[in-house]
Amino acid sequence: MVRLGIDRLLANPSAFLAGKPRVALLTHAASITSDGRHCVDALLSSDAVTLTRLFSPEHGIFGGAQDMIGVCDGLTYRGIPVTSLYGETLSSLWPTLEALQDSDVLIVDLQDIGTRYYTYVYTMAFCMERAKQAGVSVLVCDRPNPLGGVKQEGKPQTRAYCSFVGWYPLPVRHGKTIGELARQFNQAEGIGCDLTVIEMDGWDRQSLGIGPGRPWINPSPNMPSLAAALTYPGTGLIEATNLSEGRGTTRPFEWIGAPFIDRTKWIADLDTLALPGVRFIPWSFEPMFHNQVSCDVAWCACLRGEEA
């Protein structure tokens, strides 16, 4: 049984929040405790916590906004103001010092996917930068990496090619938890905030998924399953081409294709790669949004019991 960082915090909040009751929280729809509560509701039930502000990353606090769609401010949740950290400008990716002025500590509870170009870890890093400037402590509640904590794949990008889908050099599949990345960014990237990582109990680094017995909660609109997360390190790269990566379908990041592709020949070429745990199957689909064209496609199917 995996005991999440947020579970450990809730079990003994005074151990982590002594003298720091005013809490800002960076959270999203997948920030669920092991007993099925959203972390906002769970923290509100604690007498040791006063939630002053909520911050939301890309896709918004409720996880409904599509990729690259700016989310506006002005929402409240449970009567708490929500500040979006994914607006229409580069500066909107950082919280303001004013947004942190009424807080003693910033708690981060986000479900990452284990792939370099998933943006939540960089939103965390930007919050850590502002927290350092504001004199606010940071608590990162650790969660499992669905792709495991052992294997790394893909060469880190050079500094010249860093962007918000890769602010710091990392392997494409980095093999670290969000808490481990917080420590790395804080030290190696010189953020230097007052950081505490609330580690998990019982997580097996060899395992895939988010923990036995825990339901998959979409961390973003197009990440509906572990299968999508497993294929994402590879098929997410298709977004930089004129092919569809399956957004707008029921199989995002598992279906890839385009109208001009000879799927029979393409699948034959892909099969020569003999990728372990993967088979390519001919398919056709028509996305409901993004690249809205009928596509001949290769279905990247992860086989049960094998790792893509």
**Is 303's pLDDT higher than 70?**
no
Q: Are residues 271 and 131 in the same domain?
A: no
Residue 270 lies in a domain: yes
Dihedral angle computed from the Cα positions of residues 92, 98, 102 and 108, in that order, rounded to the nearest 10 degrees: 20
Q: Domain range spanning residue 148?
A: 5-198
Residue 220 lies inside a defined structural domain of this protein:
no
pLDDT at residue number 292 = 56
pLDDT tens-digit readout, 64-94: 777 767 777 878 889 999 999 999 899 999 9
| Residue 307, pLDDT score | 41
**Mean pLDDT, residues 288-297:** 64
| CATH number of the domain enclosing 171 | 3.40.50.12170
In total, how many domains does the chain have?
2
Least confident interval from 31-35, 176-180, 300-304: 300-304
| pLDDT(306) > 60 | no
Q: Is residue 221 part of a domain?
A: no
Residue 205 placed within a domain = no
Task: Note the pLDDT tens digit of each residue in 232-248.
Answer: 999 999 988 888 898 88
State whether 180 and 34 are in the same domain: yes
Residue 196 predicted with pLDDT over 70:
yes
Report CA-CA distances (Å) from 8 to 12, 67, 157, 201.
Answer: 7, 32, 35, 9
**Residues 6 or more apart from 113 whose CB is under 8 A from it?**
146, 147, 219, 223, 229, 232
The Cα-based distances of 245 to 64, 93, 226 in angstroms read 19, 26, 16
Among candidate residues 32, 247, 240, 228, the one with its CA nearest the CA of residue 113: 228
Q: Report which of 194, 196, 247 is spatially closest to residue 220, judged by C-alpha positions.
A: 247
pLDDT, one tens digit per residue, over 120-142 is: 999 999 999 999 999 999 999 99
Q: Last residue of a domain, which of 152, 183, 198?
A: 198
Domain presence at residue 268:
yes
Question: Do 159 and 76 reside in the same domain of the chain?
Answer: yes
Per-residue confidence (pLDDT) for residue 175, from 0 to 100: 98
Could you tell me the pLDDT band of residue 293, with boundaries at 50, 70 and 90? low
Asked if residue 143 and residue 62 are part of one domain, the reply reads yes
Q: Is the pLDDT of residue 294 over 80?
A: no
Encode pLDDT of 19-44 as tens digits.
899 999 999 999 999 999 999 999 99
pTM here is 0.91
Q: What is the pLDDT of residue 24?
A: 98
Q: Is the dihedral of CA 71, 287, 116, 156 positive or negative?
A: negative
Decide which of 161, 180, 198 is a domain's last residue: 198
Is pLDDT of 305 > 50? no
Regarding whether 243 and 176 lie in a shared domain, the answer is: no
Among 59, 53, 200, 178, smallest CA distance to 122 is for 178
Same domain assignment for residues 57 and 123: yes
Share of the chain above pLDDT 90, in %: 70
* Mean pLDDT, rounded, for 110-117: 97
pLDDT at 299: 57
Residues 190 and 261 in one domain: no
Same domain, 64 and 136: yes
Residue 213 lies in a domain: no
Cα–Cα distance between 219 and 146 in angstroms, integer?
A: 11
CA trace torsion 173, 179, 183, 188 (10° rounding)? 20
**Please, which pLDDT band fits residue 298 given cuts at 50, 70 and 90?**
low
